[in-house]
Amino acid sequence: MHFLLISLTILMGLAVGWSIGANDAANSLGTAVGCKVLTLKQAIVLIAVCGFIGAILQGSHVAKTIGKGIVPMDQLDKDLALYVALVSCFAACAWVVIATYWKMPISTSHSIVGAVAGAGFAIHAPVKIKLLADIFTCWILTPLGAAFFGFILYFIFKNIFYRIVPRRYVRNVLIALVVISGCYVAYTWGANDVANATGVMVGAGIFSANISISLGALAIVIGIMTWGYKVIETVGSEITNLLPLMAFSAQLASAVNVHIYTMFGIPVSTSHSIVGAIFGVGLVKGAHFLNIKIMKDIILCWLATPFISGVISFIVLKGIMFFVKM
């Protein structure tokens, strides 16, 4: 039974990694596709490479928070910790797959955090409410901070870029800036979000952090390559029509925003960050340039994410515990 639990938990952790790649690939270079700087295939390859590098080099920071910070799984009975890890992965993955099918860029960070908390409540484990409150606060600040950075950066670049770059070099410089900043977003995304797939495996003591992160990174790459195109379309073109300089400003703002949180080990949403940054950039041109309807739909999914995954996790684990006791 113990071996079966471990196998299922690994499988579900990899499924979460796949769903992260499918939903969050758009956060990195969706804007570059939207402004016609890169083709969809080019963007997917760059996202896969840079996201993998970020996961390997800095993915351990947030993995500790997910695996041991919210619910101390390393202090639970081994089988119970495995149940928490398994159900958390299942709940998070289920909601992310549904949202990806709807082409909604939700937060896999919110999904896994809500799922872990829900599982913790189901077994009356010591869920760290203060840490959850801190994470929730950062979730609110993430899109607001990205929107602020995006607004300021685009306002500055819009006024100085064409003055300092010779006209014959403008197009090539813009392409380079959009691609480089998009790769930076992919790097920070891999560093922050790989923990959503691997943190519970670390917390349950299945693998070391390095092995878990490597497996999670591979699963994310597969998700990018197989289903990543769906949300890229929403982020790249449906929120607002992006010019290359707008895309660069949004990507740089989002990357800096997420990187700061990653260094502190805080699981934030790259989806919230890039959408917030695009919103801020769009505001420079005026609110009428923004697709308010799609923004409302995205925000509703954001608000629902931790609660839906948490409820799924709570109900499923309660059901399992009932039958196990029987």
- Mean pLDDT per 10-residue section of the chain, whose length is 326 residues: 84 88 74 78 86 85 68 84 92 88 77 92 90 86 92 93 92 92 90 78 79 86 78 58 84 93 85 85 75 74 88 95 75
Specify the 3-state DSSP secondary structure of 276. helix
Task: Name every residue whose Cβ is closer than 8 Å to that of residue 38 and which is 6 or more positions away in sequence.
Answer: 29, 32, 46, 178, 179, 182
pLDDT of residue 288: 63
The end-to-end CA distance of the chain, in Å, is 16
Tell me the C-alpha distance between 104 and 98, whole Å.
9
Tell me the C-alpha distance between 304 and 321, whole Å.
26
Q: What is the pTM of this model?
A: 0.80
- Is residue 242 within 8 A of residue 278, CB to CB? The reply is yes
Instruction: Name the one residue in this structure whose structure tokens are 């690994």.
Output: 10
pLDDT of residue 181: 92
Q: Which of 268, 309, 316, 307 has its CA nearest to residue 94?
A: 309
Burial 184-203 (b: 16+ CB within 10 A, else e): bbbbbbbbbbbbbbbbbbbb
Phi, psi (rounded to 5 degrees) for 206: -75, -50
pLDDT of residue 34: 73
pLDDT of residue 68: 62
pLDDT of residue 237: 53
pLDDT of residue 325: 66
Tell me the C-alpha distance between 237 and 35, whole Å.
8
Tell me the C-alpha distance between 143 and 141, whole Å.
6
- Is residue 119 within 8 A of residue 202, CB to CB? The reply is no
DSSP at 105: -
Distances (CA, A) of 47 to 23, 184, 209, 217, 235: 12, 9, 22, 12, 14
Query: Token pair for residue 69?
Result: 């910070």
Q: What angle do CA 43, 241, 273 make, to 5 degrees?
A: 65
Tell me the C-alpha distance between 127 and 118, whole Å.
9
Tell me the C-alpha distance between 267 and 135, whole Å.
7
Q: Which of 226, 165, 195, 235 has its CA nearest to residue 89?
A: 195
